[in-house]
Structure 1
């Protein structure tokens, strides 16, 4: 009997749906990895322990599935796309080395901006959808940056639509965002965007060729999720250069909430498929999963040619904020878990289905029932939902008086994607009582009822006026 287990290891060991041998294996590897820690600070120890017992098994299961699927489909190369792919690539290297997968695993620099903008062949509704994607922070400057132009290049058009230069860096209101859409539909702006895209497209394709995309070796890309926009742009770029494979482009993802394909021959496959009700919540908590796969460098903005080489241009070379938080602790623990598992056990001891079951247990426990320590440490992680990373905010901030009132009265969270259970755990005990699910359910029903009454009164008033 394994002793001195933490709550995640006990959860696995006590689950009757998992075979006894696998339960013991996973609990032992998690515990052994946890005990390898040399961390001296409390916060770093929390990161190591939680990774060893919860995060690492989840990531390992996903990467193992990618390799199994690649082998089944005759895929010989996997491109782990930056930045999510950094830790996934490291885990894949451990599995391939110790379990003898003959698959070439590579780290490919890419991002929404680096692929979307060069792939532009037109500016229609689909393209405007991501150009003006309504993130928490959206300014004239940040939208222009998405398509590699500057506000100065379209200053005349911006002025015609009342976007003064003094407001280019200000977060736009909903009405202003709608107004900005008209700017990006003006013929001269569209022409500039497409001409700029053609220049960046040539360099992107040069980088892909350099990384052996299109050398006839069957390949797939690996990313965390969530709708396949990156793969769609990637496929468009390959198609424009004659590099698109006859069998289509394969993409392996942790989870997908929907699938956006460039071509019908593209394949988007998900490890944590939302075909089960208990998994459909995952896209609402995407920021938590993205925390697991953070990288130590900035996002890829574009590619440049330097001599004979094509190099990725990063927003910043070192992601110091994440490094200081404890990124390397998380990554080292995840790699140590992969090493412990693959050197002490054979692949026949594991299976994709068993790791999926373990993922169900671990991810739900971490998301919905975090300890106070986990809420404090992981909840303090700084995130941004806009690709320009203009505004950073804590994943799970403690509720303030104002935020508490806004939630009760208006049903409005501090920001989209807040990690609610962790925020509650970090909040004043009075707020925890006020914001419990039963009270929030009652206030929600009252808001709905009030809205219906208000609508009914308004319609009655209109009816009386017309009669």
Structure 2
């Protein structure tokens, strides 16, 4: 039977305290950045530029030359002084103090474990701290005081002061001697598997392994040292959001740890690097632009950028029909494309804003009026519509009314007062921009619009200088089948825009549907996004010399979605999501599959697959081992993997020739 602990011992770094960089050594990169300021012009250039590696080597030499290998900060800077004899003692002291200053600046408390310490103290239990650390004890107390003043009052057993560390058990021996306890009467908590778990456990102490300070899979993917400082800081901020709150919700973690860093580079570059594009206002398109606008507003405020940022309530339903001046097969196809393969007689009626009875009269007899229509049936119906003068006249009247309402709404939002303005959205075909451009061009021939998109799946024929478009991350040549997941990450607090109506005051306002997708603890989700945006922007303000290049982070997180990130899939997978603008039959984004469902999936048609899951990679990572194996055997995915390796007709024929030759030889 275990003895009741007489002493509760806690590690300090990554147990009670942590830094808002993923790798603690990147504090030295920040120090290097500081040394490049003009006030340090008398320091050697290589010391300033390569301080991190110089600091690493100095600590290594100090460790080798120190008895017990427990080094101090003073000893490390003595080694730097030996490597740079031209440095004055005052200069070394100044650099050392900057390191201490940065440690204090970037430290924060880990709420969960601090709360545990305070609970022990409230019960009158003995709590001590034990750390393998080179920083002076007074500095460590200041760091602890920043997290909670009561921590700074605790007794600290410090390796650099005692010349004994936890790794070989020597520091625990000192604790037992001075506290007059046996190892079995100590309960130690720490993050290091060896020095905080294996070693004290082998000595007989009770242990608790704290593992939450370890980077998550998506934090670790872009914090690689080869990606540089900014990705490391990004991961550090995400980690801070997780650890600085006690029991943060998963919605908060998703917003602050994945969604915000996913879009931050796009939004930052949008507001920071477009100062010369001539746009007088930036309209963020509903609904994907809701979160992007919130982020842009925070970034502009903290960076002191003056941009007119507005929110435009639009949807495919509210603008497609409005852009039609005379119905024809081309614009009819575009309107019906908004149903995304979920067309019924009712959804087509809704999209064209005509009475269902008008369609009923021209419907071919073989079409089932209640079920989703096949593409063949849609094509047949389109032909019937074009051939019916009554249907065309009705649609043209509906389009004229929709155009008048959209024009009035755009006027009320100031769009017609700008010589040039920008539209901002996640993507993908920029067809809403084309529709708005078409509507405004008839009223304002010199209108100029520039679109900024996270990604683009195609470039339309309407893309001209007056109607320019820019894709940030996803280009038409490398479009991915994760676009719906990205849309779900940018969920708003309102439903889609159905149209516009005139208020009693005369202005036009949007008619909104009830929100179709909500995430549990939606406010926490938005709060996480805001907290990350605020901290990241604050970092850029404090370190203006840092190159704000987020491409490494963007690439890594995009790959996480492509391969299927388990955390994102778990949180978003069960949410119902409509595949089309007019589709009320919502299907789950990425549900967990049973073995039977996995078998059904691989033998289903494409449309049936979309009804089962809209993100197969998310479904795969959520499912148990048996369904995963079945999904891995999907012959269509295997065939796609093979054909992805051949990109030209010549390569395909070469591959087939090799297969035929191998078959004949056998």
The residue aligned with 2:524 is 329
* Residue 31 of structure 1 pairs with residue 228 of structure 2: no
Separation in structure 2 between the aligned mates of residue 138 and residue 120 of structure 1, nearest angstrom: 20
* Residue 46 of structure 1 pairs with residue 253 of structure 2: no
SS at match of 2:537: helix
The residue aligned with 1:296 is 493
Displacement of 1:306 in angstroms is 1.8
The residue aligned with 2:620 is 424
SS at match of 1:348: coil
Q: Structure 1 residues 70 and 184 mapped into 2: Cα distance closer, same or farther (>3 Å)?
A: farther
* Residue 357 of structure 1 pairs with residue 568 of structure 2: no
Separation in structure 1 between the aligned mates of residue 303 and residue 540 of structure 2, nearest angstrom: 9
The residue aligned with 1:229 is 431
Separation in structure 1 between the aligned mates of residue 562 and residue 309 of structure 2, nearest angstrom: 30
The residue aligned with 2:300 is 96
| Deviating more after overlay: 171-180 vs 141-150 | 171-180
Separation in structure 1 between the aligned mates of residue 290 and residue 638 of structure 2, nearest angstrom: 44
Displacement of 1:135 in angstroms is 2.5
Separation in structure 1 between the aligned mates of residue 378 and residue 637 of structure 2, nearest angstrom: 32
Displacement of 1:149 in angstroms is 1.6
Q: What are the ranges of 5 or more consecutive residues in structure 1 without an aligned counterpart? A: 447-467
| Deviating more after overlay: 30-39 vs 204-213 | 30-39
Displacement of 1:53 in angstroms is 2.4
Separation in structure 2 between the aligned mates of residue 263 and residue 444 of structure 1, nearest angstrom: 31
* Residue 68 of structure 1 pairs with residue 269 of structure 2: no
SS at match of 1:325: coil
SS at match of 2:620: helix
The residue aligned with 2:54 is none
* Residue 147 of structure 1 pairs with residue 369 of structure 2: no
- What value does the CA root-mean-square deviation take over the aligned residues? 2.8
Separation in structure 2 between the aligned mates of residue 290 and residue 138 of structure 1, nearest angstrom: 21
**Which structure 2 residues correspond to residues 96-115 of structure 1 after superposition, within 5 A?**
96-115=300-319
| Deviating more after overlay: 232-241 vs 265-274 | 265-274
Displacement of 1:169 in angstroms is 4.1
Displacement of 1:229 in angstroms is 0.8
Separation in structure 1 between the aligned mates of residue 270 and residue 623 of structure 2, nearest angstrom: 39
SS at match of 2:393: helix
Separation in structure 1 between the aligned mates of residue 527 and residue 287 of structure 2, nearest angstrom: 16
Separation in structure 2 between the aligned mates of residue 334 and residue 408 of structure 1, nearest angstrom: 37
The residue aligned with 2:385 is 184
* Residue 251 of structure 1 pairs with residue 451 of structure 2: yes
**Which structure 2 residues correspond to residues 160-179 of structure 1 after superposition, within 5 A?**
161-162=364-365, 168-179=369-380
**Which structure 2 residues correspond to residues 256-267 of structure 1 after superposition, within 5 A?**
256-262=456-462, 264-265=464-465, 266-267=467-468
Q: Structure 1 residues 5 and 127 mapped into 2: Cα distance closer, same or farther (>3 Å)?
A: same
**1:127-186 Cα deviation digits (max 9, x unpaired):** 12222226242111101111222212444333xx3278xx54432234422322123212
Separation in structure 2 between the aligned mates of residue 4 and residue 401 of structure 1, nearest angstrom: 33
Residues 379 and 396, structure 1, Cα contact 8 Å, conserved in 2: yes
Residues 77 and 217, structure 1, Cα contact 8 Å, conserved in 2: no
Task: Give the number of the structure with larger relative contact order, counting CA–CA contacts within 8 Å between residues 6 or more apart.
Answer: 1
Residues 70 and 76, structure 1, Cα contact 8 Å, conserved in 2: no
SS at match of 1:390: coil
The residue aligned with 2:570 is 376
Which residue, out of 403, 406, 415, partners 1:213?
415
Q: Structure 1 residues 404 and 323 mapped into 2: Cα distance closer, same or farther (>3 Å)?
A: closer
* Residue 348 of structure 1 pairs with residue 551 of structure 2: no
Residues 77 and 105, structure 1, Cα contact 8 Å, conserved in 2: yes
Displacement of 1:33 in angstroms is 2.6
Separation in structure 1 between the aligned mates of residue 559 and residue 641 of structure 2, nearest angstrom: 27
Separation in structure 2 between the aligned mates of residue 281 and residue 96 of structure 1, nearest angstrom: 30
SS at match of 2:550: helix
Q: How many residues align?
A: 425
Residues 295 and 327, structure 1, Cα contact 8 Å, conserved in 2: no
Normalising by structure 1, report the TM-score: 0.83
SS at match of 1:251: strand
Separation in structure 1 between the aligned mates of residue 636 and residue 361 of structure 2, nearest angstrom: 48
Residues 78 and 106, structure 1, Cα contact 8 Å, conserved in 2: yes
Q: What are the ranges of 5 or more consecutive residues in structure 2 without an aligned counterpart? A: 1-22, 25-212, 643-666
Displacement of 1:436 in angstroms is 1.4
Displacement of 1:262 in angstroms is 3.2
